[in-house]
Amino acid sequence: MSLLDSNKFVFECPIAQLIKDGISDVFTTRVALPEGAKILKVETAETRADVSFDKTFSYLDFIGRPTVVIKIKNHVPDAAEGVLKITY
């Protein structure tokens, strides 16, 4: 995570390098951001990625935390390159 200015942050991580030898039909990555954050931009180099937005609720939570959900179909670790960048 890095700070762009006083109001913007960037979360950055490899998009699909978590499982080196596994092949999956649908690879899902969920990133829950801090409560009250506003998602400004989601960038990924993966062309097969389906990006959607959700809310994650915890115990006694009424507002929820904004969550970015990335799904990649027919995931092969060697073919998936790139970084996930979320500006919030």
Strands (E), 2-78: 2-5, 8-14, 24-32, 41-44, 49-56, 65-75
Q: Summarize pLDDT for 23-79 with one digit per residue, the tens.
A: 777 888 899 998 888 888 998 877 778 899 999 998 888 888 999 998 888 776 665
Q: Domain boundaries in the chain?
A: 2-87
Nearest-angstrom CA–CA distance, 11 and 58: 21
How many Cβ atoms are within 10 Å of 87's Cβ, its own excluded? 15
pTM of the model: 0.77
Higher pLDDT: 15 or 12? It is 12
Nearest-angstrom CA–CA distance, 79 and 48: 11
Quote the radius of gyration of the chain (alpha carbons, Å).
Answer: 14
